[in-house]
Structure 1
Amino acid sequence: MKKFHVSASGNPEPCTATKRACPRGGEEAHFASQKDAATAAIQEQLRTTETRIAELDKEHKEVQTRVRIQEARVRFLEDGHSARELHERELFAESAPLELREHFYSDSPFNWDWSETFNASGATHALITAEHGQGRSAAKDAALHARLGHRGRQDGKPPLLDSVTRIARPDFVNDNEWQDSDERAVMATHLPNALARIEKEVAVGNTTAA
């Protein structure tokens, strides 16, 4: 029975292999008609195109993030900070997750100890916007902004600001204390996509460095 496969150039064609195994693959790579082979070729091309689009989108977002970091560094100096202060922030920022680095170059509206080098408020609101967009319901807003809060909450759980501050530190990956922490649990509830994205980035970075 005549069979068809998809050639290396992506075109459907008759299979001529008789004595030896076909280099295009086994039964899963062969079809009963040229039409079926053509359909498979189109589907493969679509998958390749979708993969490339996703790669380009990721690259574009990374470029945008790096541009924002550079703009934040410029604003930091324009706001009257010295080159020495900029260098101090750079030392903290260079090992932080990429999407949080720009927030090392802006001042926090709060006077907590860790706010001296990291604007957790700005970072948290940026993550919320990326996660939920602008069109949130009043109920979701109330729950989320209640969780933003300050320390000393009645439920004993840390505010979301503390969670984002801790995830900005590069030493939490493979740290059982972080994995079991209330900070991570709070972020998993309110910013699960950001949590997964940042943990994956830092884990990949650590694997590469190792």
Structure 2
Amino acid sequence: MAKFHVTRSGKTEPCGATVRACPLGGANHFGSLEEAVAYSLSPTFAKREVYTRVQSEARRMAENAAGRKLAADNVWIESSSSGVQGEYQVRYTVPKEEGFHIAQLPLFLDRDEFEDWESVKEERN
């Protein structure tokens, strides 16, 4: 039976992985094209797409500030204390160092983006 997956960009296509596991993971695989399309149009997929984009941007900012690669678990965002609406701080920890660091540049998100990011983060914890 053919499996279909939803790519990170939201496209539905047949999964061609036969020898190894699909690099997209198992969660985005479906038994029919119709199921895959329905998922790609769902609010759940949209929230996960926002989470992935925001987390990738935050990680990139943290790695630039740290000057090294960081594990995804070592990067998070929090509301900024500047009082500017939509401004968030990217915080990160560096292995074998105490405390956390704050990336110099703020991350700007609208309220919906932050709420989507936060809800997916809570699902994963």
Scaled to the shorter chain, the TM-score interval is 0.3 to 0.5
Q: Which has the higher contact order (CA 8 A, sep 6+)?
A: 2
Which protein is richer in strand relative to its size?
2
Query: Normalised by the size of structure 1, how large is the TM-score?
Result: 0.24
Which protein is richer in helix relative to its size?
1
